[in-house]
């Protein structure tokens, strides 16, 4: 007899990328997002959305509106206040304080005996060090107070996709079976440092989750790009201006390429001799840089192709961004380049979620794990 699907809530769901990663063995009981474009994208891709998707602020929700008892609650709360590129306001920041709107619901469910057995909180790596580790300690204390054991894994999407996208996944569970604990390549220096600075009463609830690395990635950036003839390229003058923004190191990288080389370029602001300057940085390692939500042309990555000493450039397309997140070709992106890049750049990498679910979340929720914990 087949086992019924595992159930989950997906908070801050965006375009439903965590749901896609969890896969067909899971059933979504409830999902939410307050962003109008993301909500429309979720509905466009999941025909059953009318039955479980709520568009609105997490603070406007209450436990009475959350159906059943989920096996898992997934939360990819807004990351701007944890970002190394942001102001680092931490858990008190205006956006990341949405986490407490989510946690308020978990506490209410726990009071009703409906708390999920497993919780996953996904965010930027800055979560581990925000306010000298105080924010991560506060998060751990909240989990521990409700009887959860917790641990963190820093996983770069580059393990599965041609995009450099490190993220931290805090996995909290009622049980921590010994078979699922141990060493992992995802116990990075940042994770170990965060664990080492936890107060003793919180550290007592820490778990070193065992998660092996996935099989070696067999695709690179070039493999996910559109054919050259199917995209609009910059004019020679535009490419020259882009190259002109590069410092000596990055210009040398371009000039060193032989044959056909495909890279990505990101424009950044740097402080040079006390002055703010815009610089273009290029990489030719087969990976795109981390996708971001677009706030204008300067925040979009460019593709740079060097062939027989000639450089051509263009902007990354929305469909290419979707592929860099592991979204299927059938995934319906919103109309408009900015909206499409916003949905893709503010999501979680689908194959990373699938690997985490297969190797850790599903074993944690298996009948064998429950019996071992009793």
> In whole angstroms, what is the distance from residue 372 CA to residue 186 CA?
25
Q: Which residues of the chain have pLDDT under 50?
A: 1, 83-88, 296-298, 373-374
- Topology of the domain covering 6-216+346-373: Rossmann fold (3.40.50)
H/E stretch holding 158 reads none
Concatenating the DSSP letter of every residue in 263-285 gives: EEEEEEEEEETTEEEEEEEEE-S
Contact 39, 19 (CB under 8 A): no
* Pairing mode of beta strands 26-33, 53-55: parallel
pTM, full prediction: 0.92
> In whole angstroms, what is the distance from residue 212 CA to residue 152 CA?
14
pLDDT per position as a tens digit, 305-323? 999 889 999 999 999 999 9
Q: What integer pLDDT is reported at residue 90 of this predicted model?
A: 52
Q: What integer pLDDT is reported at residue 43 of this predicted model?
A: 98
Concatenating the DSSP letter of every residue in 178-236 gives: GGGBS--TT--HHHHHHHHTS-HHHHTTB--B--PPPSPP---GGGGSPPGGGSPPPPH
> In whole angstroms, what is the distance from residue 210 CA to residue 151 CA?
10
Q: What integer pLDDT is reported at residue 183 of this predicted model?
A: 97
Contact 70, 12 (CB under 8 A): no
**SS3 for 74-136, per residue?**
EECCCCCCCCCCCCCCHHHCCCCCHHHHHHHHHHHHHHCCCCCCEEEEEECHHHHCHHHHHHH
> Using CA atoms in the order 319, 324, 325, 330, what is the torsion angle rounded to 10 degrees?
40
Burial 58-97 (b: 16+ CB within 10 A, else e): beebeeeebeeebbbbbbbbbbbbbbeebebbbbebeebb
* Pairing mode of beta strands 118-123, 72-75: parallel
- Structure-block tokens of residue 94: 């205006």
Q: What integer pLDDT is reported at residue 297 of this predicted model?
A: 47
* Angle between helices 337-345 and 36-45 in degrees, nearest 10: 80
pLDDT per position as a tens digit, 218-266? 999 999 999 999 999 999 999 999 999 999 999 999 999 988 999 999 9
Q: What integer pLDDT is reported at residue 367 of this predicted model?
A: 81
Tell me if residue 153 falls in helix, strand or coil.
Answer: strand
Instruction: Work out the burial of residue 235: count CB atoms within 10 Å of its CB; fewer than 13 is exposed, 13-18 middle, 19 or more buried.
Output: exposed
φ and ψ at 8, to 5 degrees? -155, 160
Residues of the chain with CATH 3.40.50.150: 6-216+346-373
φ and ψ at 104, to 5 degrees? -55, -40
| Residues above pLDDT 90, as percent of the chain | 82
């Amino acid at each position: 007899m087949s086992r019924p699907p595992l159930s989950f809530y997906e908070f801050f769901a965006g375009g439903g990328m965590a749901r896609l990663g969890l896969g067909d063995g899971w059933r979504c009981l409830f999902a939410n997002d307050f962003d109008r474009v993301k909500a429309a994208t979720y509905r466009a891709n999941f025909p059953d959305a009318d039955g479980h998707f709520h568009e609105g602020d997490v603070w406007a929700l209450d436990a009475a509106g959350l159906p059943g008892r989920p096996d898992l609650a997934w939360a990819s709360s807004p990351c701007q206040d944890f970002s190394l590129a942001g102001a680092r306001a931490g858990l008190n920041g205006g956006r990341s304080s949405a986490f407490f709107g989510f946690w308020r619901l978990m506490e209410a469910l726990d009071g009703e005996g409906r708390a999920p057995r497993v919780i996953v909180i996904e965010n930027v790596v800055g979560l581990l060090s925000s306010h000298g580790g105080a924010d991560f300690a506060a998060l751990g204390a909240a989990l521990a107070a409700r009887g959860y054991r917790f641990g963190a894994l820093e996983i770069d999407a580059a393990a599965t996709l041609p995009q450099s996208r490190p993220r931290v996944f805090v996995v909290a569970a009622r049980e921590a079976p010994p078979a699922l604990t141990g060493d992992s390549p995802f116990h990075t220096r940042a994770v170990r440092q965060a664990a080492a600075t936890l107060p003793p009463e919180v550290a007592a609830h820490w778990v070193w989750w065992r998660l092996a690395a996935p099989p070696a990635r067999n695709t690179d950036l070039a493999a996910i790009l559109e054919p050259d003839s199917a995209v609009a390229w910059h004019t020679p003058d535009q490419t020259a201006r882009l190259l002109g923004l590069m410092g000596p190191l990055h210009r040398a990288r371009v000039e060193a390429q032989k044959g056909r080389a495909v890279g990505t370029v990101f424009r950044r602001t740097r402080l040079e001799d006390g002055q703010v300057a815009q610089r273009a940085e290029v990489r030719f390692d087969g990976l795109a840089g981390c996708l971001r939500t677009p706030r204008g042309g300067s925040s979009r990555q460019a593709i740079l192709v060097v062939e027989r000493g000639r450089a051509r450039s263009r902007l990354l397309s929305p469909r290419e961004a979707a592929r860099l997140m592991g979204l299927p070709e059938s995934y319906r992106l919103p109309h408009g380049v900015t909206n499409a890049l916003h949905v893709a750049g503010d999501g979680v990498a689908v194959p990373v979620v699938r690997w985490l679910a297969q190797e850790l979340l599903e074993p944690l929720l298996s009948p064998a794990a429950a019996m071992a914990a009793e």
